[in-house]
């Protein structure tokens, strides 16, 4: 049984297009095959981008409340869950739940054009979606950090092709495994044991999928990613995030369907 968990949170992004992430989450949920679709009644429904930055985090209060709401809904689901967002911050609660269930055996495969390892205060925008991996490792804002955090050996970054100076330094000091577009297959090599898969749609080449807030050139082709995901065993949870559609795009809708089918369990 597969449940799609729709979390239409957009406040973790500081892009002018960020409010589109809410409709993007709902559209993604419609496109995926599932036995059940459950939506989180998120806080902060306004589409006004706030300038309120607390402890280096924009809209921190909304994000903290949404984290609790997502965790509460997730605790009532006993299926395989594909979480759809929304910004990448929607995956804190699902990955924390997987960490609690599978412990040190869990591997998180984070497929994203960006490494998402900024720390609080590193980004003038305060955009939390650029801090999610670092937060899962225990080096993020306290109110958004899970009780049980990941070790660097449990995280693999794939499709990364950009990043700031502070991110590069963090990656160097932690020794996180990072694989660019040309090395994508290496991120999948030898994966065994329970694996959680996070897909940020900006990992895809923007000439093929452009409905994201922060497109980066020279990305992954969707057919290549679908093939790799389809070959994974022991996937215990997954997420598709950062869909920011302006209108209906049949080609992009088909890509989301194929990604969902590759992740479906």
For residue range 171-212, list pLDDT tens digits in order. 999 999 999 999 999 999 989 899 999 999 999 999 999 999
Closest to 63 in 3D by CA, of 10, 114, 26, 100: 10
Q: How far apart, in whole angstroms, are the C-alpha atoms of residue 197 and residue 195?
A: 6
CB 114 within 8 A of CB 64: no
Taking the complete model, does pTM exceed 0.85, yes or no? yes
Residues 124-154 have pLDDT tens digits of 999 999 999 999 999 999 999 999 999 999 9
Q: Give Dmax (Cα) for the chain.
A: 44
Q: How far apart are CA 24 and CA 131, in angstroms?
A: 21
The predicted structure's pLDDT at residue 12: 97
Q: Which two tokens stand for residue 195?
A: 């694996």
Q: Count of residues for the chain?
A: 265
pLDDT at 116: 98
Which pLDDT does position 47 carry in this prediction?
Answer: 75
Tell me the CA distances in angstroms from 87 to 7, 114, 258, one per residue in order: 9, 13, 20
Q: Measure Cα distances from 206 to 134, 161, 202, 213 in Å.
A: 26, 13, 7, 11
pLDDT for 50 equals 73
Q: What CA–CA distance (Å, rounded) separates 258 from 37? A: 18
- Give the pLDDT score at 51: 78
- What is the 3-state secondary structure of 56-72? CEECHHHHHHHHHHHHH
**pLDDT reported for residue 265:** 85
CB 3 within 8 A of CB 80: yes
pLDDT tens by residue, 55-104? 999 999 999 999 999 999 999 999 999 999 999 999 999 999 999 999 99
Which residues are CB-contacts of 48 (< 8 A; sequence separation ≥ 6)? none
Over the range 157-178, which residues count as b (16 or more CB within 10 Å of their CB) and which as e? Answer: bbbbbebeeebeebbeebebbb
pLDDT at position 77 is 97
The predicted structure's pLDDT at residue 64: 97
- The confidence score (pLDDT) of residue 49 equals 74
> What confidence tens digit (pLDDT) does each residue in 13-56 have?
999 999 999 999 999 999 999 999 999 999 977 777 777 999 99
């Amino acid at each position: 049984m597969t449940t799609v968990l729709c979390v239409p949170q957009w406040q973790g992004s500081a892009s002018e297009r960020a409010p589109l992430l809410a409709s993007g989450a709902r559209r993604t949920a419609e496109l995926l095959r599932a036995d059940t679709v459950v939506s989180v009644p998120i806080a902060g429904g306004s589409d006004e981008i706030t300038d309120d930055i607390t402890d280096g985090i924009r809209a921190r209060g909304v994000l903290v409340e949404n984290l609790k709401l997502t965790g509460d809904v997730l605790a009532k689901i006993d299926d395989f869950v594909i979480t759809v967002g929304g910004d990448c911050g929607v995956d804190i609660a699902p990955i924390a739940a997987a960490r609690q269930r599978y412990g040190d055996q869990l591997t998180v495969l984070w497929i994203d054009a960006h490494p998402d390892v900024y720390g609080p205060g590193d980004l003038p925008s305060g955009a939390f979606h650029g801090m999610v991996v670092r937060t899962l490792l225990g080096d993020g804002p306290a109110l958004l950090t899970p009780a049980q955090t990941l070790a660097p050996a449990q995280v693999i970054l794939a499709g990364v092709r950009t990043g700031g100076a502070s991110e590069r330094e963090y990656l160097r000091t932690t020794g996180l495994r990072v694989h660019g577009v040309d090395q994508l297959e290496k991120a999948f090599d030898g994966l065994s044991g329970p694996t959680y898969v996070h897909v940020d749609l900006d990992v895809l080449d923007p000439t093929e999928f452009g409905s994201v807030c922060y497109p980066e050139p020279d990305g992954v082709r969707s057919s290549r990613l679908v093939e790799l995901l389809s070959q994974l065993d022991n996937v215990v949870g997954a997420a598709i995030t950062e869909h920011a559609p302006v209108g209906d795009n049949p080609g992009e809708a088909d890509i989301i369907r194929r990604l969902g089918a590759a992740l479906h369990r």
